[in-house]
Structure 1
Amino acid sequence: MNGFAGHVVFDRQDGGAGLCGFLPIREGRWRVALAGRLDDRHTSAAALDLPAGRDLADIDLAARAVERWGMDAAAHLLGDFALAAWFGDERRLMLAGDAMGMRTVYYWRGPDRVVFATGLRDLLAMPGVPRAIDEVFVADHLALNYGDDEATFYRDIRKVRPGARVLLSARGIDHHRFHRFDPERRIRLAKDGDYVDHARDLLDRAVADRMRQEKIAIMGSGGLDSACLAVAALRHAPSVPFLTAVPEPGVPTAPTAGHVDERPYVEALAAAFPGLRPEFLSPSPTTDWAPEHWSLTVAGAAPYRMAGNVLWLNEAARRAAALGATSYLTGAVGNLGLTWDGLRGLPCLFKRGRWLRLTRELLLTSRGHPRRLAGLTWRSLLQPLVGRRFDEGDLLAACGLTPATLRRFDMAERLRQRGNDPSFILSPDSRRFRIAALCRNRARRPDGMNSLRGFQGIDNSAPLADLRLVEFCLAIPEDQYLRDGTTRWLSRRLLRAAGVPAMVTDNRRRGYQHPEWFAHLSRARPSLAEQVDRLERSPTASRLIDVERLKRRIADWPETTAAAEAERVGLQVMMQEALNVGAYIAWVEGTN
């Protein structure tokens, strides 16, 4: 959970730089700082002409990269990292963040100086940094209008975009993107099995890199993502803790076609892999489920979307730390890469005129059920091609902004300009859909990752978000994911070859994270009116957020879990997120 911070004054030649966590190079004229982890170190070392077998620390490797490539060093590095370099003799500051958005640098530029840090909380603690809220960014957040940009919740604070570097000097700011996903890139191998072999090799390298300096646990479920992590981790360690969140005993759970308790699938996986040490952890009965989520908000100095799910998983994170783990692995991003279901390839078959293959996949995937066939055809084929696009009414249902705020910022048009769509249609092209989804999430990821690290007191990483693995999975043919009615064909074959039992590899039912959400939210109901009152006392929050709609939502409380599930968007998405963001605004303004 390393980081760095500092400030520089550009027009002073006699120092004017306060740099914490920096390594001096070039006889002290340059300084380098690194937060996070570097991967594929052998390739970097070879490019730097370092002797084989010499094992440098990550910061030393980064320093060599800066000495060799200067401001372009980040483009030659791989991993989850934030990088800074102060070129003292040139009075220039370089800041960079990794391509997947796992780490970044936040900065504020004043009249004569730049203040920067790898976390918002650390930056805001430094003298003179303004805390004014960016109302447009807040509105975008509540409307799910995520942009792959440098904006933050604070009007005067920027962050380095994923896969970019920023060069600051007395003359101004220069932005440069060193990484972009290429939707036209294609990888074609000789045999179907070759794709499995290559994916397995990349997965193993991704997991090994994350285990190199960390004692890890897996925060897992009974799904394919977690099984991939388990089989890879056990190739590099004889025993690995596998921590699974399960519902709180005796608490009503939501009705679902999936499963609410992952225990049977995890037990089947552990029986096949004795080195896996499963534990099942339910939320503490004393957890505070109030939507304000103060501890999580303060930890990252920003609101965290769907914070209730973090609390539901928190006992697993605490257990990982108690076992001595320094980091836990998650399956995040897997469903856009290694465990992609392939269904977005159906519109591509339609556009290419491959009618027989399209019909075959629809029939086999729906397994002969007329209702399932109709739903699949609409969701995966027709809606991406001709589905009704959103309007302002769609936004009102899912976000707590006032109608006046929606009109003031023209939110519907802002969504269209960014290529976002509240129904997540995005693009009928599978690769472009996945790239758009990756990019719309990665720019917000550092805020969430910093919040988790501060709140849980333990680091976490996502091997399935490894750039090498993601770019491979984006480039291979779509029929590696959907074949003869089998979705997620690539990951299922990989796991079968590794000896994962059919109960896991052949399962098509989805797990339900935090299925007792309504029961937990109902425990906080007595305090919700008071939370709305605090929100109403904040000038900014009450101007942006529809307070009257929140009051009606609280008064019209569902009587059963099933009724609540039917109103989940209004309760869990609209109401909880609005209260969470309102509390954050009040915290910044000091009105709570």
Structure 2
Amino acid sequence: MLHFLGLASFGAPLLSSAQMLQAARRLGGPDFEAPQSWSSDTCIFAWRRMALRPETRSAPIPIVDPESGTCLIGSGRIDERAELSAALGMHSRGASDTELMAQSFARWGEAGVDRLMGNFGFALWDGKAGRLTLAKDYFGTTPLFYHRGDGFVLFGTNPAALLATGLCSREIDHATLGENLMGRSADPEATLYRDLRRVRRAATLRIDRSGCRETIYWQPERGAPLLLKSDADYVEATRAMLDRVLVGHLRSPAPLGVMLSGGFDSGSIAATLAMLAPDRTIAGFTCVPAGGDPDRMRRMAREWAHVEALARKHPNIEAQAVVDKDMLPCDDRYRDLFADTGLPIGAPALMCRRLALAEAARRSGVRTLFNGDGGNRTLTSEGPQLFAHLFRSGRWLDLATEARAAAAFSGKPLGKIIWRDVLRDIVPRQLLKAWYRLRDMRVPDITEGSLLRRPFANDSGLIDTWRAAPNSPDRIRLLRTEEIEPVYLNVQPSHTDGMTLAYNRMGLDVVAPLRDRRLVDFILSLPPTQFRRGGVPRFLARRVLADRLPAATLDERGYFDPFADLGLWAEKWWDEAGRKISGQRPAELAGRAIDLPQLRQWLATPLPDFMGREAGNARIVGSAIANALHVNHFLRWHERLND
């Protein structure tokens, strides 16, 4: 794992090595090596490294080609190494990941990025041509930012380091700030800072004196269906793909860990790793409740029972229960994180759990930590598109049978299943739109469910951005189910970089293999009949994982509640947050962006009363209130205010 900072000049003077090294202190975390630098007449790099794989310890940084005059600095993990090396005519043994990136670019140019599988981000400077190329994989878990200045381009993996150079402004981008309050995003290139842009997933960006050109070299889409002879063939092909995606991670000799729930997604990762490496220990870290509502606690206790059953099935999985979730939305410890990353984290209610798991993993010596993000859009898709598929195929008797079976399996009225999962995908879109209008079923305003002020959202341009966004509520509700998965798989929340950098700062490379490009391509090629059968959702996953997960887990019909002890977590900060907010002089930007009067009013209500008033108030606590408190905390740090 390597974090880097670079400056390429089109005539502007370069910073000194001392200046770059000073800014590079913001890169990485305590377990990273000391900052180092390299420079030429037109470019300077600085970096900090933490070697996860043997070949990275001796790999040169940067990769310099004297003949072409190019130099490359990058980070990540390249998979399918043997195949790539054969195509390049080189030996993969001993080659570093960055050497494979450089060789691929040297052989095929920008088209070579499309041949790289895994998780990576790099910058390549061609001093002779005066051209910078930035590239990132589809995973998107290697952050990469850039700023185009007057005669130079500043780039790197950490906003705090870029800001520390003094070459770009700390001015906040209002639209992206609003998205942090909403907890979702539309613009894949925007960052929290007006002068910083993000290299989006599966993209190359070429920058020279004449301007900037972006190429999206891959995106999720449904292609021609994969036709195999039998159901068993689909199961074996899916297992082979899951193994193929995960095996590359075993190159690292450092301990591997999984944010392990009792469900299908993270369980499939832990079980597959355990089977691929039976001689290695796979550490699992599971959040368990500290108490609370008895019914919810029983459901979470059942989830822990599934984790324990998984560990019994695979003895090399060592599961650890994590109770303490003590990172609060306005915790003072976040100030150090803000200083080191320049960003808030997204979704603090979720991250309080994930940071607790990450801290347990760090103490255990884990260096690569997996999560199951994206599984419900790939491996564990419920397959609601089956109904439209049967209708278009003229298999109407099968359609009726599946609808009745789905109602019986879910315990929901048949009429609801017919409307939600059958008719919605069958009726013409104009008719569906007219139905919504007739029923006065309006599209919720994007600010609803948050404490983002509507005038701020409008003035910042956020309203207009969301009207045109592929994941806007108005567009999503008119898409057919089979069209929705590619949209969500391609959304890159602007606030997730803060999460990634927080993990990296702890010395953890956190990955989500169920979003791997190879798995996405494969899953989107499978016929809908593989994902739902006889009313049973996740039909493919239940069969694929039959050799990996306990039978009781495979029989689960619903999902576990990750926020069962939300009330207990909120008790730790509710009253104190109310006192702080009521007595603060607001940060100027917070006063414009956040509905502080509403926030104060809610926090003035005793927590049990607030959560007991309406069923949706627990969600408000975990999203709107927690997000607003955390963003307010960040803005006070950013404006250098004392509480």
Correspondence for 1:465? 515
The counterpart of 1:323, out of the listed 355, 364, 369, is 364
Contact 1:166 1:176 in 2 (8 A): yes
Correspondence for 2:83? 43
The question of 1:310 aligning with 2:351 is answered yes
Correspondence for 2:36? none
Deviations 1:340-390 (A, max 9, x none): 111244345456654333322222122277645455445434566648497
Correspondence for 2:270? 230
The question of 1:115 aligning with 2:154 is answered yes
The counterpart of 1:529, out of the listed 578, 590, 595, is 578
Contact 1:151 1:159 in 2 (8 A): yes
Q: Which moved more, 1:244-253 or 1:188-197?
A: 244-253
The question of 1:81 aligning with 2:105 is answered no
**Displacement of 1:31 after TM fit?**
0.5
Correspondence for 1:130? 169
Q: 1:356 to 1:257 in 2, by over 3 A?
A: farther
The question of 1:484 aligning with 2:534 is answered yes
Contact 2:262 2:553 in 1 (8 A): yes
Q: 1:396 to 1:34 in 2, by over 3 A?
A: closer
Contact 2:10 2:209 in 1 (8 A): yes
The counterpart of 1:209, out of the listed 248, 263, 279, is 248
The question of 1:195 aligning with 2:234 is answered yes
SS at match of 1:90: coil
Deviations 1:441-486 (A, max 9, x none): 36654443223322x3322112212110111001111111111111
SS at match of 1:262: helix
SS at match of 1:569: helix
Deviations 1:2-48 (A, max 9, x none): 12211011127981311124221235821111111111112211221
Distance 1:523 1:479 in 2: 47
Contact 2:329 2:627 in 1 (8 A): no
Distance 2:66 2:362 in 1: 39
Q: Which moved more, 1:533-542 or 1:565-574?
A: 533-542
Deviations 1:117-170 (A, max 9, x none): 112222222232211111022223434552253111111101111111111112
Contact 1:96 1:104 in 2 (8 A): no
Correspondence for 1:574? 624
Instruction: Read off the aligned partner of 1:46 and give its amino acid letter.
Output: A
Correspondence for 2:45? 19
Deviations 1:478-503 (A, max 9, x none): 1111111111111110111x153210
Contact 1:105 1:118 in 2 (8 A): yes
Correspondence for 1:4? 4
Correspondence for 1:280? 321
RMSD over aligned Cα, in angstroms?
2.9
Correspondence for 1:449? 500
Contact 1:4 1:117 in 2 (8 A): yes
**Displacement of 1:258 after TM fit?**
5.3
Correspondence for 2:456? 405
Contact 1:4 1:34 in 2 (8 A): yes
Q: 1:448 to 1:313 in 2, by over 3 A?
A: closer
Q: 1:521 to 1:137 in 2, by over 3 A?
A: same
Distance 1:424 1:221 in 2: 32
Instruction: Read off the aligned partner of 2:267 and give its amino acid letter.
Output: A
SS at match of 2:276: coil
Q: 1:220 to 1:155 in 2, by over 3 A?
A: same
Q: Which moved more, 1:6-15 or 1:212-221?
A: 6-15
Correspondence for 1:586? 636
Distance 2:65 2:472 in 1: 47
SS at match of 2:113: helix
Q: Which moved more, 1:562-571 or 1:207-216?
A: 562-571
SS at match of 1:305: coil
Distance 1:144 1:205 in 2: 33
SS at match of 2:471: coil
**Displacement of 1:301 after TM fit?**
2.1
**Displacement of 1:416 after TM fit?**
3.0
Contact 1:341 1:481 in 2 (8 A): yes
Instruction: Read off the aligned partner of 1:7 and give its amino acid letter.
Output: L
Contact 2:171 2:193 in 1 (8 A): yes
The counterpart of 1:171, out of the listed 183, 206, 210, is 210
Correspondence for 1:161? 200
Contact 1:290 1:521 in 2 (8 A): no
Correspondence for 2:22? none
Contact 1:108 1:156 in 2 (8 A): yes
Q: 1:391 to 1:119 in 2, by over 3 A?
A: farther
Distance 2:461 2:619 in 1: 22
Distance 1:369 1:64 in 2: 52
Q: 1:268 to 1:100 in 2, by over 3 A?
A: same
Contact 2:404 2:535 in 1 (8 A): yes
Distance 2:436 2:297 in 1: 27
Distance 2:507 2:141 in 1: 17
Matching of residues 180-579 of structure 1 within 5 Å: 180-213=219-252, 214-237=254-277, 238-252=279-293, 255=296, 259=300, 262-283=303-324, 287-288=327-328, 290=330, 293-294=334-335, 296-350=337-391, 354-367=395-408, 371-381=412-422, 386=432, 388=436, 394-409=445-460, 413-422=464-473, 425-426=476-477, 428-441=479-492, 445-454=496-505, 456-496=506-546, 498=547, 500-532=549-581, 537-559=586-608, 563=613, 565-579=615-629
Instruction: Read off the aligned partner of 1:432 and give its amino acid letter.
Output: E
Contact 2:259 2:284 in 1 (8 A): yes
Instruction: Read off the aligned partner of 1:429 and give its amino acid letter.
Output: R
Distance 1:540 1:534 in 2: 17
**Displacement of 1:212 after TM fit?**
1.1
Distance 1:24 1:50 in 2: 17
Distance 2:419 2:329 in 1: 37
Distance 1:36 1:460 in 2: 11
Q: 1:425 to 1:89 in 2, by over 3 A?
A: closer
SS at match of 1:234: helix
Instruction: Read off the aligned partner of 2:637 and give its amino acid letter.
Output: W
Instruction: Read off the aligned partner of 1:273 and give its amino acid letter.
Output: H
SS at match of 2:212: strand
Instruction: Read off the aligned partner of 1:528 and give its amino acid letter.
Output: A
Q: 1:154 to 1:564 in 2, by over 3 A?
A: same
**Displacement of 1:77 after TM fit?**
1.1
SS at match of 2:124: strand
Q: 1:355 to 1:185 in 2, by over 3 A?
A: same
Q: Which moved more, 1:368-377 or 1:272-281?
A: 368-377
Q: Which moved more, 1:206-215 or 1:64-73?
A: 64-73
Instruction: Read off the aligned partner of 2:90 and give its amino acid letter.
Output: L
